[in-house]
Amino acid sequence: MKGTFKTTLLIFLDAILVVVSYYISILIRFEGNLIGRISQHIYLLLLSMVIIKLFVYLILGLYNSLWRYAGINELISQGDVLIATRTAKGTF
């Protein structure tokens, strides 16, 4: 039960961090002026980015590794996750 709660908490925190980071980057890009079509589609963009990232993280087992004993295998796994999320966002 403890592992399930921790995994759920990590997924929730990742989703929040993805939304906040993309929202801040959009605000910086458009200098805080979100008008017109951008403001109408920002929620769809944020939702799709959260779904893509969390899906890739779950598929590649990011939440299943033991970070206390992290080593080179986890570093390689992180590289795989980075490549997969960049590819998924690029095709979106």
| pLDDT tens, residue by residue, 41-92 | 888 888 888 898 888 888 877 777 656 666 777 777 777 777 877 777 665 4
**Backbone dihedral angles phi then psi of residue 32, each to the nearest 5 degrees:** 75, 5
The residue length of the chain stands at 92
pLDDT digits (tens, 9 = 90+) for 3-46: 688 788 888 988 999 899 888 888 888 777 777 667 778 888 88
Q: What would the two tokens of residue 6 be?
A: 């921790």
The pTM of the full predicted model, rounded to 2 decimals, is: 0.66
CA distance 1 to 67: 18
Residue at token pair 């961090």: 17
Cβ–Cβ under 8 Å, residues 45 and 22: yes
